């Protein structure tokens, strides 16, 4: 994947969605709580159960740990991927194409830009 357009194409040509607003990578409570909320939404049918949800989160030791512990068990419905560039591309798409977004956030900030240097 080379650009946000490539990500957009992947989303539009499949049953794929972005899990947006998972923007506090340094907070285990947010990282785990938002992932749990996304899984709850899928389980209860609040969002399509046959879709693939891309949870692109900023790189941070917390998100890396969450990915190592849980990512294998989340497949095939959720792809939890720490990566700053993918996170920024996902944010671009979430801002311009809300129909491709699912929002499992538990915070009050929406579509914010975290300080990736923290």
Q: What is the domain range of residue 67?
A: 4-102
Query: From CA 16, how far away is CA 76, in angstroms rounded?
Result: 11
* Residue 77 near residue 52 (C-beta atoms within 8 A): yes
Three-state secondary structure call for residue 55:
strand
Task: Identify whether 110 is part of a domain.
Answer: no
Task: Identify whether 115 is part of a domain.
Answer: no
Average of per-residue pLDDT across 87-114: 78
**pLDDT score for 115:** 47
Task: Identify whether 26 is part of a domain.
Answer: yes
Task: Identify whether 96 is part of a domain.
Answer: yes
Task: Identify whether 117 is part of a domain.
Answer: no
What does residue 104 show for φ and ψ, rounded to 5 degrees?
A: -95, 15
Domains in the chain: how many in total?
A: 1
Number of residues written out for the chain: 118
Burial track 105-116 (b if 16+ CB lie within 10 A, e otherwise): beeeeeeeebee
Query: From CA 2, how far away is CA 63, in angstroms rounded?
Result: 22
- Please choose, from the candidates 80, 7, 11, the residue with its C-alpha nearest in 3D space to the C-alpha of residue 39: 80
**pLDDT score for 66:** 86
DSSP-assigned beta bridge partners for residue 54? 18, 79
pLDDT in tens, 22-62: 767 777 777 788 888 999 999 999 999 999 999 888 888 98
Task: Identify whether 64 is part of a domain.
Answer: yes
Task: Identify whether 41 is part of a domain.
Answer: yes
Task: Identify whether 113 is part of a domain.
Answer: no
- pLDDT grade, residue 70 (50/70/90)? confident
């Amino acid at each position: 994947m080379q650009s946000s357009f490539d990500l957009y194409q992947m989303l539009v040509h499949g049953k794929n969605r972005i899990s947006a607003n998972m923007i506090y990578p340094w907070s285990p409570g947010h990282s785990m709580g938002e992932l749990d909320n996304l899984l709850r939404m899928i389980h209860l049918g609040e969002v399509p159960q046959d879709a693939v949800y891309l949870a692109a989160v900023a790189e941070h030791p917390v998100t890396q740990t969450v990915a190592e512990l849980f990512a294998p068990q989340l497949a095939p419905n959720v792809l939890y991927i720490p990566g700053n560039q993918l996170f920024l591309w996902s944010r671009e798409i979430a801002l311009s194409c809300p129909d491709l977004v699912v929002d499992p956030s538990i915070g009050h900030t929406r579509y914010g830009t975290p300080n990736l240097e923290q």
